[in-house]
Amino acid sequence: MSDSTLTAGSRVFDVDAIRADFPILKRKVNGQDLVYLDNAASSQKPSQVIKSLVDYYEQTNSNVHRGVHTLSIEATDAYELARTKVAKFVNAPRSEEVIWTRNTSESLNLVAATWAEANVGEGDNIVITAMEHHSNIVPWQQLAFKKGAELRYLAHNDDGVIDLDGAASVIDSRTKLVSATHMSNVLGTINPIAELAARTHEVGAVILVDAAQSVPHMPVDVQALDADFLCFSGHKMLAPTGIGVLWGKYELLDEMPPYMFGGDMILEVTYEDANWNDLPYKFEAGTPNIADAIATGAAVDYLTELGMDNVWNHEQELTAYAMEQVLSLDNVKVLGPQDPALRGGVISFIHETIHPHDLGTALDQQGIAIRTGHHCAMPLVRSFDVVAAARASFYIYNTKSEVDALVNGISETEGYFSR
């Protein structure tokens, strides 16, 4: 099978059939059909993924990398196979470059505590965008305080599009690391990672990509992006909570000091000293999250069968439709790129008269789940002179009629509050 047929998928992209795979979509919320539009926070799970967890615990459960008995061998094989699937999913050259973590936040902290700890010094700078999730701000702030380094921000325009010309001067000879979100969880903006990577490498720095919002929704190729590190969370891409990924270039990972110490990450321990295991185990101290890693493999299989091109096209179509419908409401303003082609399936909006929190409660009464608040991006949300926004975000199982339900739900809420 060639790569293009892989991203095109082996299963027909049929939303009704997809919906049938997600048991939770059958439930009612406040007596109404559930309309789940909080996918940027966490996705739902198909029965294939749930079954993989049950199968693991019923058939294979054991510890990995340490036994000669059948169950341990099977568990190890399944755990490592999932790693291989993830590697292939993002086109990583080697599966040893895929490190299991708990989530994107842990992946980012891992790089901050190891690579950046060893490579960022006084007077150096770290560059991030002004639209990062707190998880991709705070570790760098802390590191910068500690090292006497500078934290710089790449600006964006009113439409939430990064100023690449400006980036050329922000990223300079003292830049050690550029860490940027591939897709904003608030604005939906898709950032020009390949261009940022080119500029980053020109100055000899390293680029980390927060792909928490991109890997679940679009084809992502770490080599095409020329990323050095890239991280994402299982729970946003059909997999369970508690499992995430850090991918890094082999040479970088190989040189990095360990993150945590303990079992599995060592090669040899004496009473006096220890030396470190090979990649990826050097970064996986202790018994890992075996079941959820295996289930992440099942999630990757599910997405691969659908084809990430199809996933992306579905969400693009839905986003374009939703932008049009939401913007047809008089009192609603959408944050981020107004051109649907520049964004993913995340639509944050402000209602002129209804506070997001009231809207969230009213939509919940109608069975519609959206996110309200600062979306873990307080500086960004505040930069639009608001303290909170409402956000609808889509995934493979969402439909145009659910977008209609959202728009109708907002209208009903307007009616309710003007009674």
Partner 1 sequence: MTGGTGALEDMNELYEAIILDHYRSPRNTATVEEPDIDFEVNNPFCGDEFHIQLKVENDAVSQVGITGRGCAISQASASLLAELVKGKSASEVESAVSAVRRLLKGEEITDAEAGILGDIEALGGVRKFPVRIKCALLSWVGLGDALRDHVVK
Ligand X SMILES: Cc1ncc(COP(=O)(O)O)c(C=O)c1O
Catalytic residues: 376
187 binds partner 1 (CB under 8 A): no
Instruction: Report d(CA 83, CA 169) in Å as an integer.
Output: 38
Distant-in-sequence, close-in-space partners of 282: CB < 8 Å, separation ≥ 6: 253, 258, 265, 276
Minimum CB–partner distance for residue 213 and ligand X (Å): 5
Exposure on the CB side of residue 132, measured as CA atoms within 13 A: 27
Nearest CB to partner 1, comparing residues 304 and 372: 372
Strand pairing of 266-269 and 346-351? unpaired
Nearest CB to partner 1, comparing residues 141 and 365: 365
Nearest CB to ligand X, comparing residues 45 and 133: 133
Instruction: Report d(CA 150, CA 171) in Å as an integer.
Output: 12
SS3 content of the chain, % helix, strand, coil (to 5): 45, 20, 35
372 binds ligand X (CB under 6 A): no
Nearest CB to ligand X, comparing residues 181 and 289: 181
Nearest CB to partner 1, comparing residues 343 and 371: 371
133 binds ligand X (CB under 6 A): yes
Pick from 378, 383, 399, 404 the residue near partner 1 by CB under 8 A.
378
Choose among partner 1, ligand X, none what residue 116 binds, the Cβ cut-off being 5 to 8 Å by kind: none
Minimum CB–partner distance for residue 398 and ligand X (Å): 17
263 binds partner 1 (CB under 8 A): no
Choose among ligand X, partner 1, none what residue 386 binds, the Cβ cut-off being 5 to 8 Å by kind: partner 1
Tokens coding 280? 């990826």
Tokens coding 270? 């004496």
Minimum CB–partner distance for residue 359 and partner 1 (Å): 9
Q: Which of residues 15-44 bind partner 1 (CB under 8 A)?
A: 30-32
User: In sequence order, what DSSP letters do the residues of 329-354 get, joined into one string?
Assistant: STTEEE-S-SSGGGB-SEEEEEESSS
Nearest to 345 by CA among 385, 379, 315: 315
95 binds ligand X (CB under 6 A): no
Distant-in-sequence, close-in-space partners of 158: CB < 8 Å, separation ≥ 6: none
204 binds partner 1 (CB under 8 A): no
Instruction: Report d(CA 247, CA 400) in Å as an integer.
Output: 35
Burial 149-179 (b: 16+ CB within 10 A, else e): bebbebebeeebbbeeeebeebbeeebbbbb
Choose among partner 1, ligand X, none what residue 419 binds, the Cβ cut-off being 5 to 8 Å by kind: partner 1
Nearest CB to ligand X, comparing residues 52 and 348: 348
Minimum CB–partner distance for residue 361 and partner 1 (Å): 6
Contact 350, 374 (CB under 8 A): no
Nearest to 380 by CA among 342, 346, 352: 346
Choose among ligand X, partner 1, none what residue 135 binds, the Cβ cut-off being 5 to 8 Å by kind: ligand X
Choose among ligand X, partner 1, none what residue 343 binds, the Cβ cut-off being 5 to 8 Å by kind: none
Instruction: Report d(CA 198, CA 207) in Å as an integer.
Output: 9
Q: Which of residues 181-200 bind ligand X (CB under 6 A)?
A: 181, 185
Size of the residue set binding partner 1 (CB under 8 A): 28
Minimum CB–partner distance for residue 134 and ligand X (Å): 8
Identify the H or E element spanning 317.
Answer: helix 308-327
Instruction: Output the CA–CA distances (angstroms, integers) from residue 115 to 246, 338, 404, in the order listed.
Output: 13, 37, 47
Minimum CB–partner distance for residue 302 and ligand X (Å): 19
412 binds partner 1 (CB under 8 A): yes
Nearest CB to partner 1, comparing residues 57 and 416: 416
Minimum CB–partner distance for residue 54 and ligand X (Å): 23
Nearest CB to partner 1, comparing residues 86 and 137: 137
Contact 251, 121 (CB under 8 A): no
Q: Which of residues 4-63 bind ligand X (CB under 6 A)?
A: 40
Minimum CB–partner distance for residue 292 and ligand X (Å): 12
Q: Which of residues 317-376 bind partner 1 (CB under 8 A)?
A: 355-358, 361-362, 365-367, 372-374
Interaction site with partner 1 (CB under 8 A)? 30-32, 355-358, 361-362, 365-367, 372-374, 378, 381, 386-389, 412-413, 415-419
